[in-house]
Structure 1
Amino acid sequence: METELKFRMATEKDLETIVGLLADDLLGSKRERYEDPLPLSYRKAFEAISKDSNNELVVACDGDEVIGVLQITFTAYITHQGGWRATIEGVRTAASVRGQGVGSKLINWAIQRAKQRECHLVQLTTDKRRPDALKFYEQLGFNATHEGLKLSLK
């Protein structure tokens, strides 16, 4: 990478690139709709995220080029004495920069952001069909302490 990596809140102008990053993946290619024009559902989700102070859609940039994305959600819980948690979702880096430390820097940025928001815990999930992603997160200090369950409503 020619410039220092920068992190910022995504803007609506970034949306097409973000959806492209999410779709450029074995699993994402089956569930995302990266087409022109983008389905309205992405714009509606972006608008909802942008209006919610406990949701942040963050992009990693090399100069003006968006090369990574994640969403971080801050949630208050009654458990853990009413503590806050940060949940990281939708982590992707551009294929052209994978293996160059962008993902690690993006996750570490999110961890620092969670500390700024006084969260006691950062959590994330990864699909069991992504064993390399699990190894990646474990190398960053995450521990697979729980079994996650999901119920599809579609």
Structure 2
Amino acid sequence: MTIRKALKKDVPFIVEMIADDELGRLRENYKDPLPKEYYNAFENIAADSNEELMVMENDKGKIIATLQLSFIRYLTYQGGIRAQIEAVRIHNEHRGKGLGKIFFEWAINRAKIRGAHVVQLTTDKKRPKALRFYEKLGFKASHEGMKLHLS
């Protein structure tokens, strides 16, 4: 397995994985050709030193997982850094094989290297399997999260 930063050519594979579940199908627009908004977003992410869009490849070079790691500097915790993990997906053919755990261990270690004092994530309450997975990794539901969708 190889974990690396995503490249522009990886965007269709990443979006395909993000769209491949009951919630992703409702909000994504995966088609060929892929809408330019995804490439525009990729360019912005790639240009931001506090964003790391990552992929995991198998031994044949096929992308089998993705996640985005964001580093957020703030004034509390004496100017601390929070690492936020988002958009985690394991390709449906590769789920249940321990790849998620490997990817999260990598992300947690990366957060430590970047000086983060906490790693956080959100998960939709409609994904109970994901919640159990994160709890097994040591994540705690310590805060109540809220969202306000603007569109």
TM, length-normalised to structure 2:
0.98
Separation in 2, partners of 1:47, 1:151: 26
Aligned to 1:118: 115
Aligned to 2:130: 133
Which whole-Å CA distance do the structure 2 matches of 1:14 and 1:124 have between them?
23
Return the match for 1:11 from 7, 16, 30: 7
1:6 Cα deviation after fit: 1.0
- Report the equivalent of 1:71: 68
- 1:119 to partner: Cα distance: 0.4
**Secondary structure of the corresponding residue to residue 145 of structure 1:** coil
Is 1:53 aligned with 2:78?
no
Specify every segment of 5 or more residues in structure 2 that has no aligned partner in the other structure, as ranges: none
Matched residue type, 2:66: V
Secondary structure at the aligned position of 2:49 is classed as coil
SS at match of 2:118: strand
Provide runs of 4+ in structure 1 moved above 4 Å. Answer: none
Which residue pairs with 2:143 in the alignment? 146
1:97 pairs with 2:87: no
Verify: 1:37 aligned to 2:33, yes or no.
yes
Shift, 1:107, TM fit = 1.0
| Distance in 1 separating the partners of 2:55 and 2:33 | 21
Stretches of structure 1 lacking an aligned partner (at least 5 in a row): none
Q: CA RMSD in A?
A: 0.6
C-alpha distance in 2 between matches for 1:113 and 1:44: 25
1:24 to 12, 20, 26: 20
- The CA deviation at 1:81 is 1.1
**Counterpart Cα distance in 2 of 1:151 and 1:145:** 20
Corresponding residue pairs, total: 150
